[in-house]
Amino acid sequence: MNADDVWNRALDYEYDGPLAEGDRALRDLLLLDGMVQNGGLLHAVEGLEPPELAAALAGYRWFGLEVLADGIAATAAEAAQAETLAQQEALEERADDLYSGEHGSDQIDPAFSTKLAERPDAFAATAR
C-alpha cells in the first residue's frame, strides 16, 4: 500500500470510493489540520461544526495522538468561554504554541506512517 496514495485520498474531499476506518480517521484529522495551517488552531476549533470537531478529535486519538487531542479539546472548551479580545488573543497564542513543532502537528506524519505499517487493513486498498 502506498502511503502517499492513502494520504492524498484523505485530502480528496470529492473522493466517493470506499474508505476504511483509518481513511476516515485520517480525513477527519486532516480537515482540522488544514484549517490550522490556514488560520491557526483557534480558527480551526471555532470554524468546525461540533460533529466535525468531534470526528477530528477521534481521528487524532485513533492515530495515538491523545495528548494533542486533549489539548485541542481544551482549546475548544476555553474558546467557548473566552469573552474578551484579550482572552481570545492569549488563547490564540497558547493554542498555536500547542499545535506547532515536535509536540504538535509534527507528530501527524510519523503517527500515520506507524499506523499504516501496523494496520494496513484499516485503510482501503490503493491503485498501486
For 34, residues 6+ apart whose C-beta sits below 8 A from its C-beta are: 11
What are the extents of the domains in the chain?
Answer: 3-122
Cβ atoms within 10 A of the Cβ of 38, count? 10
Cβ atoms within 10 A of the Cβ of 127, count? 6
pTM of the model: 0.90
Residue 87 grid cell:
482572552
Per-residue pLDDT of the chain (128 residues; tens, 9 = 90+): 689 999 999 999 888 888 899 999 999 999 999 999 999 999 999 999 999 999 999 999 999 999 999 999 999 998 888 878 888 888 888 888 888 867 788 899 999 999 999 999 999 988 65
Please return the burial class of 96, using the count of CB atoms within 10 Å of its CB with bins 0-12, 13-18 and 19+: middle
For residue 76, give the nearest of 98, 59, 103, 61 by alpha carbon: 98
Cα angle 13, 98, 59 (rounded to 5 degrees) comes to 35
Cβ atoms within 10 A of the Cβ of 6, count? 20
